Amino acid sequence: MKNIVSRFVLAIGLTACALHAQAQAPAAGQPQLGLQRTTITAGMYLIDAQLALSPREREIGLMHRKDMPAQEGMLFVFEQPATQCFWMRNTLLPLTAAFVADDGTIVNLADMKPMTENSHCSEKPVRYVLEMNQGWFAKRGLKAGARLTGQPFRAAK
């Protein structure tokens, strides 16, 4: 009887987890707006960054967003440093991707045109990619070698 109760409790827990995951995922063709957030600092500038942590969150990214406030972005967090490549399928906004090393140093930047499938890749293995509205980094004089700070980069050390 104890084994049956344990299995029942496990089944309820797994069902609850699955329903929670479904509730978090956006409907097809809809932007994901409910992701966790963190604050990143770029010099004197603050960025309110959504965190794309899971493979599904990273796959959807900023797709289907019609606008994004200037101080917002999305930080894609990967488990291991690797050459990261991004494209803009179903992405309506022109974006700049900052490929970021574990210590927060911007390795390289790539301007990306909406609704294209051109590949934009990091120049060396990175764990983080920060997407912002196109021109955000340039307007603030931030280039390769600039340093971002915040919780994600402290945790990577």
Give bridge partners of residue 47 from the DSSP assignment.
40
| Pairing of β 45-52 and β 72-82 | parallel
* Residue at 1 is within a domain: no
Between CA 144 and CA 157 the distance in angstroms is 20
Task: Please give the model's pTM, rounded to 2 decimal places.
Answer: 0.82
Task: Flag whether 2 is in a domain.
Answer: no
- Per the structure, the complete domain to which residue 49 belongs is given by 30-155
d(C-alpha 45, C-alpha 47), whole Å:
7
Of 20-24, 37-41, 90-94, 142-146, which range is least confident? 20-24
pLDDT in tens, 28-68: 788 999 999 999 999 999 999 999 999 999 999 999 999 99
Residue spans of alpha helices (H) in the chain: 2-24, 55-60, 136-139, 151-155
**Residue 49 within a domain:** yes
Beginning with the edge strand found earlier in the chain, give each strand of the sheet holding 37-42 in spatial order: 106-112, 95-100, 126-133, 72-82, 45-52, 37-42, 148-150
**Whole-number Å distance between alpha carbons of 25 and 38:** 19
Asked whether residue 13 is domain-assigned, the answer is no
Percent of the chain with pLDDT over 90: 78
In a domain, 74, yes or no: yes
β-pair partners for 133? 95
| Structural domains in the chain (count) | 1
The pLDDT tens digits for 71-106 are 999 999 999 999 999 999 999 999 999 999 999 999
pLDDT at position 9 is 37
- CATH code, domain carrying 99: 2.60.120.1140
